[in-house]
Structure 1
Amino acid sequence: MASAVVLAAAFPAPAPEAAGPASAAAAFLAREFSRLGDVYPSPTSPGNTDAGLMADALLAMHRAGVEPAVQARATAKLRANYFSATIVSAGVLGKDLIVAAEQGVDPRQWGKDSAGKEIDLVARLGAAQGSSGAFEDTAASGARTPANVFGQALALIGLHKAGIGDPAGTAELLRQQCPGGGFRLNVPVGGETAQCASDAEVSADTTAMGVWALVETGGHRQQVSRALGWLRAHQDPVTGAFSADPKSPGQVNTNSSGLAAMALALGGDGAAASRATGWLAAVQVPESVPVPAMAGAITRGQADLDAIERDAKAFWLKPSGADNLGKQDGLRRATAQAVLGLAAAVPDPVPPRPSGDPPPGSPPPGTVPPSHPGRGTTGPGSPGGRHGGVARTEPVGQAPVGESPAPAEVPANGPSVRAPGGQPVAGLASSPDRVGQARALEPRPVSFWAGPKGIAAAVLGGLLFAGGTFWLLVRRKGSRS
């Protein structure tokens, strides 16, 4: 464990040794953009695009340094996407501001909103900040409430990239750091100026977002060091992965692990970051997969990778719950947040997986870790997306980072995660991803008839049946003569 915290001035460039897994994963995201017309479809709103997840993927691809032409086309589609003139999400504004800065787009001319007015991301984000320094989300009714930590962090990062400091906003973020060193998710309405006094809502996703924003804006070494200490204390000792919920340490997921690995690397703890990215690389779909479109994607965990190895085509096409797009959507969400970590730290080898079912860190069938809050929704996220974080995404899936997910869903793995995505800032902040594992692909229990005794009994029964039939036929033939 590092005793000193080295703050990076900028997001670290991928190390040569890390380029393989990170580049392969980002290439998967680029191929998906090209296959789908430079947009990602919403899994819960047919015909609409998932702008939050698109932004998460662009953040990931930029960090991995792949396919600049695809990034440019997808950014143009994102700018043309529906943008409400009345509903305000600080996380969405902040994330789009980061994308604008990284893609060389003027943030003051982002596009047109639903009322036909020019979108000035900087001005709109400034108007969304309250007197306490907390950024606020505005509902269709006009009511304003404090954004969660994903939204606060993304707003600060976006403004910093635009060359704007915000001491009041940073002070508000620091008030969300709890006694144990981690960051909580929600800023209590009416309690914006009070320091967090309980660790009840702390998670790896929110703590990673807090670290990202503090390192990006500079300073606050002591607070960053405390947050890194919390992350190290909640890292799986065997796999190096992270769970969104510290009360369920065995439920490790891609979204939370990607965000935590990024935060650890930014804070200077490369050893802990590499342990986390080692797990991420271990759940990456190999190039030899029978469905080439999946190659390089990062799955949500070992259970999904096992399902792909059993039947890749069935996994790719199988719908699950509210996810009417099959598993492609879940892979996009998990990959977007995983790349944030993979691009920042060289993966360590992972210890061999212990025998037994289920494998360590595999969520129960049909469940997915929360990710970040999803775009256009409100509430906690699951990373990239559970957590609408960098990602956590919108309804059903990992929510994209920085957004506030709607209770009805968002992310599928949360973890969805759903900043860089919402698990996700994803897993990936966002509301918990509800794209569960396909139960039809799980191994079926072995019955009596499948064992040696069952086979012997079946053979004996067959002989008795044949003998009885022969006897009846002979007897009946004799009775007719």
Structure 2
Amino acid sequence: MSWLTVRKSGAVAVCGAILVAASPVFSASADAANPYAASAAAAAKWQAGELVDGGIPGFSGADWGLTIDTMMALAATRSQPAALGAAADAVAANIRKYNSAEEWGMPGSRIAGATAKVLFASVVAGREPTAFGGLDMRAETLDLIASADAGDDVGRIRDKLTGSPDSGNAFGQSLAVLGLARSGGVPQTAVDFLIKQQCPSGGFRLFPGQLGSTGATCQDTPTTVLDPDSTGMAVQALLSAAAESGSTGAAAAAKKGADWLKSKQRADGSFGGSGPTEASNTNSTGLAGQALHAAGYSTEADKAAAWVAKHQITADNAGAATKDVGTIAYNEDALTSARAEGIPDFQRDQWRRATPQALLVLADVPLGDLGKAPTEPTGTATSSPVPTGSHTPAPSGSATHTGSESPSASTSATPTTSLGQTASASITASATNTTRAGTSGSASGGGSTSGGGGTANGGGGSLARTGAEIGGMVLLAVGLVGTGFAVRAGARRKNGKHT
């Protein structure tokens, strides 16, 4: 997980977090060669059980970034098709609550990371990207990519908001590259901008020109902050761009990023994020391990999976948490607390954020293959160059969740987070805590990505933010304009995070 500092515009500081979500996982029956397939399926089952009317509950209403993270996890395991369909229906019915500030009097506004995350969600759910919720999410994402007259920002996916600093970051950019590559092709300029966020050492920065790195292209300096979560997202996005679109330079940059990740893996197999999430955690380990697998580093990916598996609640180690078998703890403190005291309601948000991203490495399927048929080889496009509406709709209902109606509003003054990126969700336990941006990606920008940890939540350790919503953060900032207060928030994603 990574962190993000606040940027101010007048009296308002806007930041979002997105966490990119999970990658495809095979069920135990579908992939006997994967020793963690059953563990991944158990984690997905627990996460599906947390859905309420198709959405994952946030601090106020449904958290759409985290719901998309959940969709990715369910698609990865292919074990909960009804729940996946219900979540897809709910997201499709609430897109504008997630990727815009229209309900707050900003018609035509768009949040870059959240828009890209919705596009990717439509792809992994097997829905038509050009008609998801009655909207053309591919066109909306392309419309946010800066054109040739944007100077250093050419190719960057940017917000369409008045009076707010741009929240676009590496999580959102990666989600855009993934979604576009999987839905008909990604512009080379968008790939080039993502590559510019890679420092010579191989790691990726979360934000352009911030966190110790200035200039249009990332440079290694004593103050540059390189982020394992952002790097894991970027590696997988670039691999997909190379396979689906033949993008120039993508494969080489992906390998360089994977080599950097390999050098940062700890002896026990774990990864930490950057800033306040630097300690080993399952969110960062799940995403980084998934990227290593995608890049062909199976030995290292297996070590990461083994570490994550040790933090899963099972029938044998549950202790007081017997009702929550399958879920994955953010860290050792959270696991110890759950075994001793169970998981009380006020701590469930942390587990809902940790589980989807952590299970990615257990699923053993790259983001670029998420939603493809089990026999479909890596790099095979799931849609024609021009989407034709031939995607097979995912199941739309489930025995326990209605999911087709719109859950309660996700945009409120109370921040929520998710693996994607909307303004609302990437804040951790409080406005002063840092979380990661994703597009849901890492806060503020981008697309959904892994959640950033916050302060301890009860006895459960750092609060995992896997997919903060940028949209929510923007709305929070807008709501505070009248009072003259500046919102202070840090950023995951990745879900960030949570693009």
Are the structure 2 counterparts of residues 246 and 66 from structure 1 closer, same or farther at C-alpha, using a change threshold of 3 Å?
same
Are the structure 2 counterparts of residues 103 and 273 from structure 1 closer, same or farther at C-alpha, using a change threshold of 3 Å?
same
Structure showing greater relative contact order (alpha-carbon pairs closer than 8 Å, 6 or more residues apart): 2
Q: Does 1:76 align with 2:96?
A: no
Q: Which residue of 1 aligns with 2:405?
A: none
Decide which of 336, 349, 361 is 1:341's aligned counterpart: 361
Q: Which residue of 2 aligns with 1:310?
A: 340
Task: Tell me the distance in 2 between the aligned counterparts of 1:175 and 1:37.
Answer: 41
Q: Does 1:108 align with 2:130?
A: yes
1:293 Cα offset (Å): 3.6
Are the structure 2 counterparts of residues 383 and 29 from structure 1 closer, same or farther at C-alpha, using a change threshold of 3 Å?
farther
Decide which of 258, 265, 269 is 1:240's aligned counterpart: 269
Cα contact 2:436–2:453 (8 A) shared by 1: no
1:393 Cα offset (Å): 7.7
Q: Which residue of 1 aligns with 2:302?
A: 274
Deviations 1:407-442 (A, max 9, x none): 6458xxx8xx335x22x44xxx7xxxxxxxxxxxxx
Deviations 1:420-471 (A, max 9, x none): x22x44xxx7xxxxxxxxxxxxxxxxxxxxxxxxxxxxxxxxxxxxxxxxxx
Specify every segment of 5 or more residues in structure 2 that has no aligned partner in the other structure, as ranges. 1-22, 103-107, 148-153, 367-416, 428-433, 456-462, 474-486
Q: Does 1:209 align with 2:225?
A: no
- Pairing 1:36-115 to 2, within 5 Å after superposition: 36-43=52-59, 45=60, 48-81=61-94, 82-83=97-98, 84=100, 85=102, 86-111=108-133
Q: Does 1:187 align with 2:171?
A: no
Q: Say which SS state the counterpart of residue 41 (structure 2) adopts.
A: helix
Residue identity (%): 27
Task: Tell me the distance in 1 between the aligned counterparts of 2:275 and 2:269.
Answer: 14
Cα contact 2:421–2:467 (8 A) shared by 1: yes
1:25 Cα offset (Å): 0.6
Task: Tell me the distance in 2 between the aligned counterparts of 1:12 and 1:215.
Answer: 18
Decide which of 114, 128, 138 is 2:160's aligned counterpart: 138
Decide which of 379, 382, 387 is 2:436's aligned counterpart: 382
Aligned Cα root-mean-square deviation (Å): 3.2
Decide which of 3, 16, 23 is 2:41's aligned counterpart: 23
Q: Which residue of 2 aligns with 1:122?
A: 138
1:387 Cα offset (Å): 4.1
Task: Tell me the distance in 2 between the aligned counterparts of 1:408 and 1:61.
Answer: 33
1:208 Cα offset (Å): 0.5
1:21 Cα offset (Å): 1.2
Cα contact 1:299–1:331 (8 A) shared by 2: yes
Are the structure 2 counterparts of residues 207 and 373 from structure 1 closer, same or farther at C-alpha, using a change threshold of 3 Å?
same
Task: Tell me the distance in 2 between the aligned counterparts of 1:383 and 1:297.
Answer: 23
Cα contact 1:373–1:401 (8 A) shared by 2: yes
Are the structure 2 counterparts of residues 402 and 41 from structure 1 closer, same or farther at C-alpha, using a change threshold of 3 Å?
closer
Q: Say which SS state the counterpart of residue 237 (structure 2) adopts.
A: helix
Q: Which residue of 1 aligns with 2:350?
A: 330
1:392 Cα offset (Å): 2.8
The letter for the 1-side match of 2:309 is: A
Decide which of 239, 262, 276 is 2:290's aligned counterpart: 262
1:42 Cα offset (Å): 1.3
The letter for the 2-side match of 1:382 is: R
Task: Tell me the distance in 1 between the aligned counterparts of 2:436 and 2:63.
Answer: 16
Specify every segment of 5 or more residues in structure 1 that has no aligned partner in the other structure, as ranges. 1-9, 112-117, 318-325, 347-369, 430-481
1:31 Cα offset (Å): 1.4
Are the structure 2 counterparts of residues 213 and 178 from structure 1 closer, same or farther at C-alpha, using a change threshold of 3 Å?
same
Task: Tell me the distance in 2 between the aligned counterparts of 1:247 and 1:31.
Answer: 30
Q: Say which SS state the counterpart of residue 436 (structure 2) adopts.
A: coil
1:231 Cα offset (Å): 0.8
Are the structure 2 counterparts of residues 128 and 398 from structure 1 closer, same or farther at C-alpha, using a change threshold of 3 Å?
farther
Q: How many residues align?
A: 362
Decide which of 182, 188, 198 is 1:167's aligned counterpart: 188
If the length of structure 2 is used for normalisation, what is the TM-score?
Answer: 0.66
Cα contact 1:375–1:393 (8 A) shared by 2: no
Cα contact 2:156–2:173 (8 A) shared by 1: yes
Q: Say which SS state the counterpart of residue 159 (structure 2) adopts.
A: strand
The higher radius of gyration belongs to 1
Are the structure 2 counterparts of residues 329 and 403 from structure 1 closer, same or farther at C-alpha, using a change threshold of 3 Å?
closer
